[in-house]
A and B are shown apart, each in its own frame.
Chain A
Amino acid sequence: MTSDTALPPAPGAQAPAPTTETQRRWARQHSIGTLWETWGITAVLVVLLAASPLLSSDFLTVANLQSVLRESAYLGIVAAAMTLAVMNGTFDLSVGGQLALVSVTTLMGYAAGGTGLAALVAVLTGMVCGAVNGALVTAMRVPPFVATLGMLFVFRGVAYVLTQDGPKTLPYSEIGSPFVKIGGLNIAGIPLPFLIMLACYGAVWVLLRRTATGRRIVAFGSSPEAARFCGISVHRIRMLIFVVIGVSVGIAALTYISRVWTADGSAQDGFELRVIAAVVLGGTSLKGGKGTLIGTFSAVLLVGVLNDLLVSRGVDASYQRVVLGCVLITALAIDGLRTRFAAPGSFARMLPRRRREAPAP
Chain B
Amino acid sequence: MRTTLSTLALAGVLALGLSACSDSTTAEGGKPSGKASGDVTVGFSVYDMQYEFFQKMEKGTREAVEAKGWKFKLHDEKSDENEMVTGAQALLDQGVDVLIISPFKPDALGPIVAKAKQKKIPVIIDDIGGGGTPYDAIVISDNADGGKQAADYMAQQVAANGAKSKKVVSITCEPSAVYAARRNQAFDQQIKDKGFQVVTELSGNSKAEEAYKIMKDALAKDPDVAGVFACNDPMGVAAANAIKDAGKDPVKGIVTVGFNADPEAITAIGKGGLSATIAQDPAGMGAKTVELAAQAINGGKLTYDDESNREVFQKVTLVTKDNVAQFAG
Contact = CB atoms under 8 A, between A and B. Distances in A.
A300 interface: no
Contact of B110 (A178, A212, A261, A316): A261
A67 B134 contact: no
A127 to B, nearest CB: 8
B15 A172 contact: no
A78 interface: no
A185 interface: yes
Contacts, number: 139
A123 B21 CA distance: 16
Nearest to A168: B107
Interface string B8-26: 1011101101110111111
Contacts of A185: 21-22, 25-26
Q: Place the interface of chain A in its size category.
A: 35 or more
A286 B321 CA distance: 60
A180 B112 CA distance: 12
Contacts of A122: 15
B109 to A, nearest CB: 8
A71 B111 CA distance: 14
Interface stretch (A31-39, A146-154, A244-252, A345-353): A244-252
Given A169-B107, A251-B14, A116 B134 contact: no
Contact of A244 (B11, B131, B134): B11
A13 interface: no
Interface in A256-273: 256, 259-262, 267-268
B308 interface: no
Given A64-B90, A172-B134, A317-B76, A262 B107 contact: yes
A115 B25 CA distance: 14
B1 interface: yes
A262 B134 contact: no
Interface string A26-44: 0000000000000000000
A183 B24 CA distance: 13
B82 interface: yes
Interface stretch (A199-207, A218-226, A330-338): A199-207
B295 interface: no
A91 interface: no
14 contacts: A123-B11, A127-B11, A169-B107, A170-B110, A172-B131, A178-B19, A185-B21, A199-B17, A203-B11, A211-B6, A247-B8, A254-B18, A261-B108, A268-B82
**3 tightest A-B contacts by CB?**
A63-B93, A262-B107, A169-B107
